[in-house]
Amino acid sequence: MKTMLNEFIYHLAVERGLAENTLTSYRRDLAGYILFCRNKKLEYPEQAGRDAIMSYLHQLQLNGRSPATIARHLASIRSFYRFMVREGILQKDPSTDLESPRSAQKLPRVLTTGEVELLLGQPLAGEPAGLRDKAMLELLYATGVRVSELVSLDLRNVNIENGFIRCFGKGAKERIVPMGDVAVRYLKEYLARGRSKLVKPGRCDAFFVNQHGRRLTRQGFWKIIKKYARKAKIKTGITPHTLRHSFATHLLENGADLRSVQEMLGHADISTTQIYTHLTRKRLKEIYDRSHPRA
């Protein structure tokens, strides 16, 4: 099964073009399942059937894993078995008809417009790192791109004059996302007075670089946004995805149509985008309850 796992990951990378983070998640989930099977002396695909899958999911439950985590593991296992059926290793997929555990849909946390303004006002624009941080936060809120897409941006992907960026999302799918005048202004300032101080010309293609002149990482951005959230005294738990959620919610609250938001976010399925409509309805109800005299 370990050999088949390597072939499966290769298939996902080469034929389906999945992102490195997605490949890592598949490998991690399936390595846990394969180790479980090995401990049960089930080393070959034809040995590890429906009972093995159910036992593994039950073990995850006993270990306190959430329904969402268990469902993700089952999805990885399903994909793995389907691959082996297509490759002729197995005649039947043992994961067929297994139901994923149901979990309550958690609405993403978003910032208010006031909190966004407070957060974006924290970087000090008088120093190169501050100019970079200000440009990153403004761009993230202006476009709603994923953090992985943000740090993957190259200089050639940013068209400042026409106000758009070209990014590559999940499955290496390319999309064009517009950005507003405010973000454009701070990107120009970063290029003129910030990036040029952090990296020598021609040494790096990355748009956003660290103090050593190399491409900024997702982990590096995580530390940056956490630092500014503490400075702004924002109590809402902030993750690198928070500005993406806030971008989508604020657009819908101000009249944007769902299809346009879906395209800007790079969601393959509109049902993924619809979670933000639930969120806007929830926020409207909270406003109503606070404001109407007979609420």
177-230 pLDDT, tens digit per residue, is 999 999 999 999 999 999 989 987 667 899 999 988 999 999 999 999 999 999
Domain residue spans of the chain: 2-86, 113-241
Q: What is the pLDDT of residues 247-278, one digit of tens each?
A: 998 998 888 888 888 889 988 888 778 878 77
Residue 50 catalytic?
A: no
Pick the CATH number of 2-86 from 3.90.190, 1.10.3470, 3.10.180, 1.10.150: 1.10.150
Active-site entry in 65, 109, 170, 214 = 170
Residue 72 catalytic?
A: no
Q: What is the mean pLDDT of the chain?
A: 88
Q: Which amino acid is at 212?
A: H
Q: What are phi and psi of 238, to 5 degrees?
A: -105, 135
Residue 241 catalytic?
A: yes
Residue 146 catalytic?
A: yes
Architecture of domain 113-241: Orthogonal Bundle (1.10)
**Helices 2-14, 67-86: inter-axial angle, 10-degree rounding:** 90
The pair of three-digit structure tokens given for residue 27, joined into one six-digit string: 């490998």
What are the Cα distances from residue 1, in Å, to 28, 33, 44, 46, 52? 14, 10, 5, 9, 13
Question: CA-CA distance, 217 to 209, in Å (whole number)?
Answer: 9
What is the model's pTM? 0.65
The pair of three-digit structure tokens given for residue 229, joined into one six-digit string: 């959230």
